[in-house]
């Protein structure tokens, strides 16, 4: 996806037993769609950051969903049952959805986990890339550039995102 393009819709099964669509996770001011999974160390290192960001911004009109599109046959840690366990363990405050066909990941142009797509109030892509500039799960440093939070600050304030694109760093999506 390119900056300014409208978000592709989706309708996916959630670990909460409900079916979620883009409209049901949409925020008034911004919507985060993050492609994630259970086994990638880059996702694992960012889970608490994503949870904290959502908790900090949900009351400001931000919605969110995490989507797992990985091939669960070759990567059983990413099965729907394993997703349910991970969602319960981490108490995700946003829906964790299964993209079994991988059609949603393809429509968004997702390449990695985690790969963030942040949309403005009109569901036009405003930011895509990584959570922040701490992209080494082995050394873990304090992030200096908070890409997601900066984008959300801009969108909540009604401004254009100052840095609309960064490189998504993580494990590649496991295609069928």
How does pLDDT run across 97-155, given as a tens digit for each residue?
A: 999 999 999 999 999 999 999 999 999 999 999 986 566 555 556 666 768 999 999 99
Residue 61 lies in a domain: yes
Residue 125 lies in a domain: yes
| CATH code where residue 155 lies | 3.40.30.10
Residue 117 lies in a domain: yes
Residue 6 lies in a domain: no
Residue where the block lists tokens 């440093």:
141
Owning domain of residue 63: 11-172
Which of 134, 113, 135, 117 shows the shortest CA–CA distance to 37?
A: 113
The count of structural domains within the chain is 1
Rounded to whole angstroms, the Cα distance separating 59 from 129 reads 23
What predicted TM-score, i.e. pTM, was given to this entire model?
Answer: 0.94
Residue 107 lies in a domain: yes
Which of 155, 150, 158, 130 shows the shortest CA–CA distance to 30?
A: 155
Residue 2 lies in a domain: no
Residue 3 lies in a domain: no
């Amino acid at each position: 996806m390119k900056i300014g393009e409208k978000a592709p819709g989706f309708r996916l099964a959630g670990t909460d037993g409900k079916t979620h669509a883009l409209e049901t996770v949409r925020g008034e001011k911004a919507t985060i769609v993050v492609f994630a999974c259970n086994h990638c160390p880059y996702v694992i290192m960012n889970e608490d950051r994503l949870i904290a960001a959502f908790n900090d911004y949900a009351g400001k009109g931000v919605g969110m969903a995490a989507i797992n599109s990985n091939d669960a046959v070759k990567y059983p840690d990413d099965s729907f049952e394993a997703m349910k366990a991970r969602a319960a363990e981490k108490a995700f405050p946003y829906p964790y959805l299964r993209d079994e066909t991988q059609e949603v990941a393809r429509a968004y142009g997702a390449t990695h986990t985690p790969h963030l797509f942040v949309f403005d109030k009109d569901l036009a892509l405003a930011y895509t890339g990584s959570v922040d500039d701490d992209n080494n799960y082995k050394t873990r440093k304090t992030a200096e550039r908070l890409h997601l939070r900066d984008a959300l600050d801009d969108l909540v304030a009604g401004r254009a995102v100052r840095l609309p694109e960064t490189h998504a760093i993580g494990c590649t999506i496991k295609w069928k």
